[in-house]
A and B are shown apart, each in its own frame.
Chain A
Amino acid sequence: MRVLDKTLNAWQLGILMFVLLFANKILVLPSLLYEGAGFESIFIPVLLFLLEFGLVFLFYRLKTKFPNETFAQILKNHFGNVVKVIIFVIFMFFFLSKAVLLYNVTYIFFRNLIYKDYSNFLFLFCIIPIITHLAVCGLRVMGRTAQLFFPVIIVIIAFCIVVGFFGINSKPLLFEGSLSDFVLTTLKHVSSFGDSIFLFLIMDKAIVKKKQWKIVFGFSLISAILVVLVTVVFALSYTYTAFLHPYAIFEIMSYVKEYGGLGRIDIISMVVIIIFTYFHLAIYLKAFMLSFHEVFRKVNFVYPVITFNLIFLVVIDFFILNLEKAVVYGENVLPYIGIFPFVILPIAVGVLLLLKKRKPEKKDENYMKKSGVEVDETKKVQNSGGKKENLKMTDMNTENLNQVKAFSNENKKDKKFLRKVIGRRESETAN
């Protein structure tokens, strides 16, 4: 039994994009970037976000060309089943690896700061059921919950950044680091980006009208701007001592509290870290589940959940439960998986977009199939001499009907096209 995901609208998709692009970049990343590339590290997120936006744009192009197909179907149709399975295995590995790092960094942060006597077991107990529940409940539930928390998240982040500006009191040395340092640091942390490939997994569930794409891009842009601002504020607040302060957004607030005299103002930053961690881990688990189903079809949804949680527990328990090991893992192991979102996937999508030259007949049938209109080939052969209809509307459930309506409303040409196809079929049958 698979989890039947309902569709996401543009706002929900935009908010999920916001979480995906923001969450894992505000805690230890700014400090590590500064350590590697000096003050110029503020340009690294800018550069990597440009690549990330490239991915989002590729998704947009693919979605426009194949509006109702899943990424798995597209891959299977064009490259074959083996390539599809390989790519989805990499997807699984990618999201699982990132989930391990995200959990470890957050756990170490809270253990060092507040819960130093609480074991990893208790942390997992608070996290795993909730992320599993969010992932199993489906995309729409996740999207709506994120929508609910979004105003809180955005207000807290804006507050942290605005207050953070009060702590700035440094004049950094500009262009001190070498180009090689910059490139090396960028490559080391490339795996912190590329989360937007999640979009390819929910391609058929994302129902975005033509004019609503700006919402998705807008949220992504806001997220990118906020990450860059956090990095800049951190670099200017902790110039030369960034290596002593590993947790960026928390450190910004804790430095400011003395200047502003606002007591434990830094707790606000912890709230946003907790919310983000839940959503981000839930998205990773969801991505793992979706990939798992493409690799092992017809399995119950319990299997991917158990697989994810088991591997997750084994890896975090045996490999990385201190910050030093987590950083080594993040800087030396994970960068290799960055090849997937920024090299392999763009090449695959680029080829798909170039290969998009379908024959009209096949196109018609595909279109109708995906629109919920099924062509009954057997009946067509049986009734070839007669005048009966060879078109049969089957399995047109509400979901598919909505998809057809949404798509047809979006583009009047397609509506005409659909009528034309049906008309042509009818005339062929008549002849």
Chain B
Amino acid sequence: MKLQIKHFFKTPMLLVFVAMIVIFAFGALGTPAEINRYAIVTAVGIDLLGDDEEVSGNKYEISLLTFVPVAQQNFAERYKMISSKGRSVSEAMDFAGLHIGREVGLSHVKMVVLNEELLKDDVSNFLDYLIRSIQLSSSTKLIATDSSAKDFLSVAQQLDSESSIKVSELISYNKNYVYGTDSSLETFFKGTYGPTKVGLMSFVSVESGEGEGISASVIDSQNGGSGASGGNSQSKESSSSQTKEIINDGETLVFKDGKEVLKLTGADVEKINLIKGNYRTGAIEIKHFTDVVFNDANLTFEIFDQTNNFKVKFENGIPVIYIDTSLTVRLSEVENSGESPKENIELLAMTDEAIDAIIKEVKLSMSEGIELMRENQVDIADFYTSLYNSNRKAFLKFLEELEDPESYLTHAVFKASVRVYSK
């Protein structure tokens, strides 16, 4: 025993180890649980205050959907909404912490909701705080809405508690399976700081009554106040229950230099996706199609795979962009005006007429998409990088010769070739 004690005191690392345990163990025991120290925020909403509010110096109102842990036997996540106002987003965040008495923890934020009013200003100004926050994941979804962000979060909160449907998941679904719009903080900033200065953001509207979206009963608050009164929107007086619904139909806002310039519908997004390529979503509809199998039929082909290759050649100083598209499609729906075809659609070989009709439809959609980008001078498909990387000198010379270098899409020539394969 004596020897062991001697050995212990002769081994410095053991002493260090014991000292570490003593210091850190007592420190850890004395520290309150993180759940009591941090407000776990899962969604952030930002609204622009009106002129009357601005007199007090406050410019922004932020709403935080915060997870509140409550001991209970059944599994249910409870959320509270906290609102606060401030001259900047960071100041409003500080005040939000003041209302709840906890530090605002942003590590679990899944979405940031922006009111449409804000989008008239340079978005990057107030998103700057969020993108620079090391806690916030760069893959946080960005959502623009026509109602106030606070209302949006109220509906989202109710939707979650009623049906466990999360709005951030609607956006992820859109990205993966429907329109392919990637609306995250990182992709938005990558576009905004990139050569085209174009960023995309999903647009989700909130409407009263039951329509084509997903609805939830929410307690509609009469007052929009917050901050000093405690910040919990659910504690407001004079409130009434109302059904509101969230409509996500693939609308996408296009920003240039941080300002909103265009709102794309789902159909527009599909056209642009055909140009951008490398998607596994979307459908092609051919109306009034007739061949040996079909008679005046409306056919819908589902896109399984799409690969686009861009090739650029400069002819007399003008860039010619060749878009080489390979599509793998499958006939997924038939509306035949006469008798329905008796063959198994799965095994049906596509006729040359059908392939030609698809190619024609794809080319038409592509030309419409390009025209949309030309009219609004937004290079959503990032042709700039392809042009620059193909022949830097020729492209820079081409830009110099233009009166408005931003209009390079208008002066470039596009040629598309489409190949269609059946799955």
Contact = CB atoms under 8 A, between A and B. Distances in A.
A332 to B, nearest CB: 23
B13 to A, nearest CB: 5
B389 A174 contact: yes
A112 interface: yes
Contacts of B186: 238, 241, 255
Interface in A260-317: none
Given A112-B134, A240-B194, A255-B138, A171 B12 contact: no
A244 interface: yes
B1 to A, nearest CB: 26
Interface string A108-120: 0000110000000
Interface stretch (A93-101, A121-129, A185-193, A414-422): A121-129
Given A129-B16, A240-B190, A241-B193, A254 B138 contact: yes
Interface string B195-218: 100000000000000000000000
A409 interface: no
Question: Which among B12, B189, B194 has the greatest number of chain A C-beta atoms within 10 A?
Answer: B194
B177 interface: no
B131 A244 contact: yes
Interface string A232-258: 000000111100110000010011011
Interface in B304-353: none
Contacts of A244: 131-132, 189
A125 B392 CA distance: 54
A171 B383 CA distance: 10
Contact of A258 (B16, B132, B184, B389): B184
B139 interface: yes
Contacts of B189: 240-241, 244
Question: Which among A122, A240, A241, A258 has the greatest number of chain B C-beta atoms within 10 A?
Answer: A241
Contacts of B388: 173-174, 176
A57 interface: no
A125 B27 CA distance: 14
A191 B312 CA distance: 41
A323 B14 CA distance: 34
A238 B24 CA distance: 37
A212 interface: no
Contacts of B385: 171-173
B190 A258 contact: no
Contacts of B13: 129-130, 133
A125 B12 contact: no
A263 to B, nearest CB: 11
Interface residues of A, number: 28
A318 interface: no
Interface in B9-39: 12-13, 16, 19-20, 23-24, 27
Contacts of B12: 129, 133
Nearest to A239: B190
B90 interface: no
Interface residues of B, number: 28
Contacts of A172: 385
B23 A254 contact: no
B195 A173 contact: yes
A174 B387 CA distance: 11
Given A173-B195, A241-B186, A258 B20 contact: no
A170 interface: yes
Given A171-B382, A173-B388, A245 B16 contact: no
B137 interface: yes
A125 B389 CA distance: 51
B177 to A, nearest CB: 15
Contacts of B27: 122
A175 interface: yes
A32 B166 CA distance: 38
Interface string B374-414: 00000000100110110010000000000000000000000
Question: Which among B20, B138, B139, B389 has the greatest number of chain A C-beta atoms within 10 A?
Answer: B138
A239 B194 contact: yes
Nearest to A109: B134
B139 A258 contact: yes
Interface string A193-231: 000000000000000000000000000000000000000
A82 to B, nearest CB: 37
A301 to B, nearest CB: 13
Contacts of A176: 388
Nearest to B132: A244
A245 B388 CA distance: 25
Nearest to A112: B134
A241 B138 CA distance: 11
Interface in A144-183: 169-176
Contact of B20 (A126, A133, A239): A126
Interface of B: 12-13, 16, 19-20, 23-24, 27, 131-132, 134, 137-139, 184, 186-187, 189-190, 193-195, 382, 385-386, 388-389, 392
Interface of A: 112-113, 122, 125-126, 129-130, 133, 169-176, 238-241, 244-245, 251, 254-255, 257-259
Given A122-B27, A240-B190, A241-B186, 12 more contacts: A125-B23, A126-B20, A133-B13, A171-B382, A172-B385, A173-B388, A173-B389, A244-B132, A244-B189, A251-B138, A254-B138, A255-B139
25 contacts: A122-B23, A129-B12, A129-B13, A133-B12, A133-B13, A133-B16, A169-B187, A171-B382, A173-B388, A173-B389, A174-B388, A174-B392, A175-B392, A176-B388, A239-B190, A240-B193, A241-B131, A241-B193, A244-B131, A244-B189, A245-B138, A255-B139, A255-B186, A258-B139, A258-B184
